[in-house]
Structure 1
Amino acid sequence: MPDLQYVNQIVKEVMRWRPVITLGIPHANTAANSYDGYYIPKDSIVYGNIWNMHHDSSHYKNADDFVPERYDGFTKSAFDRDHYVFGWGRRICAGMHLAERSVLSVAASVPWAFDIVPAKDAQGRDINVSADLASAYHHGVVGSPKPFPVQFKVRSEKRRRVIEASFKNAQST
């Protein structure tokens, strides 16, 4: 991954721009506290608003825009706290390093193997894919994109053989 900095930047920006878990996992504070003028009693259940943190315009210029370059020069692991997708505190995701490396591996492998092109309608015209937040996503505590039409085309016969061999190997283990 050190040689694939832009892939790393894209993954970090996707995690920031469209976090899967928008409110995080509930936390209980162990002592009374005050935050921004609000009193929070001991043992309160607190949700961290990951969506808001990741779209805070005082921290992220043009926060609603997809801009992987905002991570240029800062592509260390998620443990270095450039986003909160994996939580924080004592409840931080124990598997975040494996999860992050798995996502990076897929993000690097898919474009190596496939050209991703627009699907075609009945008249052979490209079907546009939208990233519009209001219409292209399922909303809730867990957010996800709605199905969208694209085609995956293997980039070469040599890559097809590598994919098929990898698939066969995965089935046998």
Structure 2
Amino acid sequence: MTPPSPSDAELLAAHRAGDRTAFGRLVSRHERRLWSVAVRALGNPVDAEDAVQEALIAAFRGARTFRGDAAVSTWLHRIVVNACIDRMRHDRSRRTVPMPDTEPAAPRRSDPAAELTTRMAIDEALAALSVEHRLAVVLVDMEGWSVADAAQILDVRPGTVKSRCARGRAKLAVLLGHLREEAG
């Protein structure tokens, strides 16, 4: 019988105690979701990779500052969100072309060209949202975080997350209304 895998908190504690493999094992558990948040927030896989790499370096170096007030996964997502915000502020004048998700797609029966066009329209609409609204919508609606967890990640109150999601969704509805008309 194999022993149970160590928890995230145990891996972080082992890293802090000098275990050279613990942080890598911790990252391997969360890297896909961290990258997914970053690519949806930034709209560009290359920028997302850079932001996640910067965030993980910061987490590796700053592991001793983790107080345990939140889950380790929430702490990692917070660092990634901060890296994304920094990158968005730094690159505000630079325009990028949104790329489609690179996650493997399930077999589909619909038109791939139409799906790509829809995905690009969604990415463009997300990019039109303010940083605050985009991050709230990405975390809650696209990544499935609870409002409470998203509030911890964004370091705001839950009511603020709800408000930002509502405003972001309203703007997305306007920006993407043409998709509903085309489908109907």
* Larger CA Rg, structure 1 vs 2: 1
Higher strand share: 1
TM range, normalised to the smaller chain?
A: under 0.3
Using the size of structure 2 for normalisation, the TM-score is 0.26
Using the size of structure 1 for normalisation, the TM-score is 0.27
